[in-house]
Amino acid sequence: MNRSTPPLIQQQMYTRERSGIFRSTEGYDTIARSNGLDPTFIKKTLHPFCMYDAPAQLSNVGEKDESQYPEAVHLIHTEGGQIVLGCSVYQSADFTGLRSAFFTHNYVIPAERSQELVTNYVSWLHATFARSYLLENGSELPELAELPTASAAEVQEEWNIESPAAMRSVLAKLRIDEAMFKQMLFAVMSAVANKKKVYIALDVPISQTSNIARKLLGILYASMPHAFRAQLGFLSYAKEPQSKKGIHVMFVEKGSLRQGDRTIEKDYTFDLATQRVTNVEADLAQQPYLDFAWRNLDRVERAASFYAYAELMLSDMGPTRSMSLASYHELAVLFQIEEGKHSLYEQNRIPVLQTLLDYLAPKGALQKKQQLNNLFVQLFQREYEAVKQRHIPEISVVERFKEYDQREDTFIREAFIGYLISALNHALAAQRTQEANALYALIERSNELSKPLFDKVLNGGFAGTLFMPFLHHKLQQTQTAEEAIRIVHDWTLRHNQLRSLPAYSEMAHYHLEDKLRHTPDLVKAVNDVLEQIHQLEHSQQVSTASSKQSTAHQQDHDGSTPLLLQLLYAANQFLLTELDLDHVTKQQLLQVGFLEEAAEFRAWVTRFDQRIRAKAAVMLAAYQWFSTTKPDATIFDNLSPSELDRVQKLGQRWLQQDLQSGQFDKLVLAFCQDTDEGVLEYGTMLQFIHTYAKDRETLYQFFNWSETHPSFIRARKLHPNYAAAMVTYFKRHDRDAFKSRQYRKQYFEQAGPALEPVYEKARYELSSPLARLFSKRKNVVLFSVGTAVVVIGTAAGLYASGVFGTKDVPTAVTDPTLVSPPEGTATDPSGTGSTPDSAGTDPNAGNPSSTTDPANTTEQSAIPGLSAVYAEQVKQSPADVEAENDTGNGNGADTDSDSSTTINNDTTQLVFEFESAEPCKVLAQSKPASASLLPANEQNQAQSFSITAPIASCDTAPYQVKLPLAEKLELQAGARIQIGEQTYTLSEPKQPSVE
């Protein structure tokens, strides 16, 4: 719209006429306006507020007296910043004289003049308006320099709100007490800030509604800060409550605020006739500004001073803060404290100080808001005086002073340091450790504050009382030695005075050792500390060089060793004295740096007592032992027997975890009895390998390796003790060693001349008793075989001559090739020959190396004089079963938990028949404990079963040995049974018998 310069007030009039500016027919329209008003603005902004609804209580009775109808004064703020102040009045007849109408007169105040409302609200509330207009006067209205208002004489003294006494008089006549006034003021300010609505129904005659509403609005204006005055919109009369944009407070006809009306259920309502207030839930006891406003209703000058004060303090805080009721609560408190009401500060120390800091935060606020700055300094001085009287301040209060101190253009630093030192001193003296620690933490967070404060403490002789407790607590909170070193180093750099303070050095040593003592990995922790110290030393040297300082600064002022180097030495010493050799790992010991230089290490440990020197000798020997690829026994030189025993136990513990071929050289030293002669504990060593090696192949590898090591060879043969230990090992732990073709080819057949006889001896010792019998008593065996041949020949002749019948009787036939074994194939205890693979199988796989026809009744065997082998079923009586269950299986071997012998009375036994007593007794004495049923198919696995106590009958013919099985098996003729190294093919079984 077109604007005048200087800006003038525009006018607009609206009513029902024959025609208007925007319509040529009769009806409601703008009939006159100022030229400065834009048509679009008139239609979109002004027309919606050109309205009037006659009160129900008047229209219902057909009241014609226009003076009985209240005028509706409205004030709204447009989006463009203009203020529309208007009035709508009732007209009993329009231009036709036939119907009632209304007339609206609006003033449009330019945005540039909107602030006049803030201070001249009384005049604006008494503005005068036209009640009619003649079209003959034209459609153009003049622009006004000033807003027309009523004269003082026209304002009734009773409602003169400029009079302080009149304000309370108005409220009293409206029955608005302190509580309701606070509620109403709270609701109006909240509505302005939050775009809510306030509906008020006055308990006055309807004709006085608008007049009294303006008086009450004057009181509310007087009680509101400037920012709220500049935003408030109102309507002095409406028939019904209705939401209108820009209207915050609406006065409505009495009786129109009905309970349960959902259109206003969320808004604030005040029905003065019934004294009913809704939706105002504020805790009036916690509303400092509302208290302040109520007490100042009759102190106009003091209230005006506060509003000017608040406007200044909020001028740089942003519009949101200016429109917040909370801001005025804060400022009301500050204003009263500044006036001398210090009880408000005592009750709200932290909120008050924080509020001051907030208002002083914007740039330039310290100078602009000198009142607040002075108030903050006064409050600090008040707190300082209290601390001097041994008062210990809250940490939150101290934090606010610290925040102020760290801002630009503040000048309390020296006083604040004195305040903190006094507070610390009193807190520690009173043993208020928690408060003291909180103060220390606050100080340390600010380098600008920490440096001058602790310099003053150290220079003032307070190190023992104020600094050392702080450092002790700080170091206690660290988790690692590295953290402790870092803290000590940083403090040493910041305060040179600490270099000459013995208590400081002692505390650093104490906490270093304390952290190392509780670390799970002492070696790593010490190495980390050493690396950290080297880095700190390097960075300090670089810093010194860059600042061109003398290298003399690397020494303490008294010429002593710098603290970092002292701590480095202390860490190494702690590692030496406290390392637990019973639990240290190989990897840990190999990372101990001071063991790398043996000569220097030996010289260093001479200063310690005998216990530490002995421990050092063990550590060095172990380090040299395991840090060298092929160590020799010289590393044990000069060790006492106890030291040697300790280091060997240490090495054995490490070797348990990584026993492999690459460790054989180290393994030898673990069992060395005489380092000069190279004598070893061979049996213990082999038992160790057997126990801790991942598999037995490791032991076979060791056997072959040992043949090349001097500790195992004497005159080109294995040491006798070692050879005996090997044989013992095979007999105790590895009786099946020579059954595996893979092991024979990979290890045993690769043996050299020194090792081969031992293998042969072990093989002999592991062979069956029958095989050893054959080897030792060849003449007896050959005689038995010869006799068998004669008997067989005679029987054959008689059969041919018809003496015997022709019925076939299957028998077990001894393989004639075993009667007289080929030369060089028999087992030779001296080790000159090789042992045949009699079973023709790979024991590891459990499969025969060649297929055998199950119908074939002949099988290779090393038992001379064996005439038959067959299986028979035995039916036991219940008494026999019970007796057997009570006594076990006869040879001490456990039977399977699922054995059928405890369920079924039937069992199976193998029957061996001999031609003479001698081989019968040998088998009986061998007491075999298990046997295997070999499969016909090489791809299948052999079936193992247990043998209970043998039943021998070797004194008279028939010479038999019966081997009862632990379970019942269906064994057919032709089945192959392996016992030990021997394999037998079963003959036709006999019928079951009852024993």
Q: Look at residue 888 in the predicted model and tell me its pLDDT.
A: 40
Helix, strand, coil in percent for the chain, rounding step 5: 50, 15, 35
Exposure of 418 in the CB half-sphere (CA atoms within 13 A): 11
- More confident site: 336 or 541: 336
528 phi and psi angles, rounded to 5 deg: -65, -40
Query: Which long-range contacts does 901-906 make (Cβ < 8 Å, 24+ apart)?
Result: 901/966, 901/967, 901/968, 904/968, 905/875, 905/876, 905/877, 905/878, 905/881, 906/873, 906/874, 906/875, 906/876, 906/968, 906/992
Q: Look at residue 831 in the predicted model and tell me its pLDDT.
A: 37
At 412 the three-state DSSP class reads coil
Overall residue count recorded for the chain in this entry: 995
Closest CA to 592 of 519, 645, 521, 510: 521
Q: Look at residue 163 in the predicted model and tell me its pLDDT.
A: 65
- Over 60: is that where the pLDDT of 600 sits? yes
Closest CA to 995 of 973, 972, 955, 962: 962
How would residue 969 be classed by pLDDT, with cut points 50, 70 and 90? confident
Query: Which long-range contacts does 419-423 make (Cβ < 8 Å, 24+ apart)?
Result: 419/380, 419/383, 419/384, 419/387, 420/449, 420/453, 421/453, 421/456, 421/457, 421/462, 421/466, 422/384, 422/387, 422/388, 423/387, 423/392, 423/393, 423/398
Residue 434 burial (C-beta neighbours within 10 Å; 0-12, 13-18, 19+): exposed
Look at the alpha carbons of 898, 901, 902, 906 in this order and tell me if their dihedral is positive or negative.
Answer: positive
Whether the ω angle into residue 6 lies within 30 degrees of 0, i.e. cis, is yes
> H or E segment at 960?
strand 959-964
Q: What is the mean pLDDT of residues 883-908?
A: 45
Interval 230-272: pLDDT, tens: 999 999 999 999 999 999 999 999 999 998 899 999 999 999 9
How would residue 859 be classed by pLDDT, with cut points 50, 70 and 90? very low
Contact 223, 171 (CB under 8 A): no
How would residue 152 be classed by pLDDT, with cut points 50, 70 and 90? low
How would residue 897 be classed by pLDDT, with cut points 50, 70 and 90? very low
**Cα 886 to chain centroid, rounded:** 62
- Over 90: is that where the pLDDT of 316 sits? yes
Alpha-carbon span 92 to 102, nearest angstrom: 8
Task: Identify residue 799 by its one-letter amino acid code.
Answer: Y
Interval 477-533: pLDDT, tens: 999 999 999 999 999 999 999 998 999 999 999 999 999 999 999 999 999 999 999
- Over 70: is that where the pLDDT of 717 sits? yes
Contact 392, 435 (CB under 8 A): yes
Q: What is the mean pLDDT of residues 825-847?
A: 37
Looking only at the bridges linking them, the beta strands covering 906-914 and 930-934 are unpaired
> What is the DSSP-derived secondary structure letter of residue 964?
E
Among 46-55, 255-264, 381-390, 391-400, which is the least confidently predicted range?
A: 255-264
Q: What is the mean pLDDT of residues 892-919?
A: 63
Task: Identify residue 966 by its one-letter amino acid code.
Answer: A
How would residue 846 be classed by pLDDT, with cut points 50, 70 and 90? very low
Looking only at the bridges linking them, the beta strands covering 858-859 and 27-34 are unpaired
Q: Look at residue 925 in the predicted model and tell me its pLDDT.
A: 81
Alpha-carbon span 582 to 16, nearest angstrom: 111
Contact 380, 413 (CB under 8 A): no
Contact 718, 712 (CB under 8 A): yes
- Over 50: is that where the pLDDT of 839 sits? no
| 398-429: b (≥16 Cβ within 10 Å) or e | bbbbbbbbeeeebebeeebbbbbbbbbbbbbe
Q: Could you write out the three-class secondary structure of 397-409?
A: HHHHHHHHHCCCC
906 phi and psi angles, rounded to 5 deg: -90, 145
Tell me the longest C-alpha to C-alpha distance in the chain: 175
| Percentage of the residues of the chain whose pLDDT score is greater than 90 | 63
- More confident site: 830 or 215: 215
At 148 the three-state DSSP class reads coil
> Looking at the DSSP assignment, which residues form a beta bridge with residue 28?
16
* Residue 827 structure tokens: 């087992």
The residue with tokens 């933490």 is 441
Query: Which long-range contacts does 522-526 make (Cβ < 8 Å, 24+ apart)?
Result: 522/575, 522/578, 522/579, 522/580, 522/588, 523/575, 523/579, 523/584, 523/588, 523/589, 523/591, 523/592, 524/588, 524/591, 525/480, 525/481, 525/482, 526/481, 526/571, 526/572, 526/574, 526/575
Alpha-carbon span 476 to 266, nearest angstrom: 58
Contact 706, 712 (CB under 8 A): yes
Interval 743-798: pLDDT, tens: 999 999 999 999 999 999 999 999 887 766 666 555 555 555 455 555 555 555 54
Q: Look at residue 382 in the predicted model and tell me its pLDDT.
A: 96
How would residue 147 be classed by pLDDT, with cut points 50, 70 and 90? very high
How would residue 860 be classed by pLDDT, with cut points 50, 70 and 90? very low
Q: Look at residue 924 in the predicted model and tell me its pLDDT.
A: 84
Alpha-carbon span 404 to 307, nearest angstrom: 26
Alpha-carbon span 36 to 4, nearest angstrom: 7
* Residue 512 structure tokens: 């270093």
How would residue 541 be classed by pLDDT, with cut points 50, 70 and 90? confident
In 10 A of CB 343, how many CB atoms?
10
* Residue 717 structure tokens: 């043969």
- Over 90: is that where the pLDDT of 73 sits? yes
Closest CA to 131 of 101, 96, 95, 88: 88
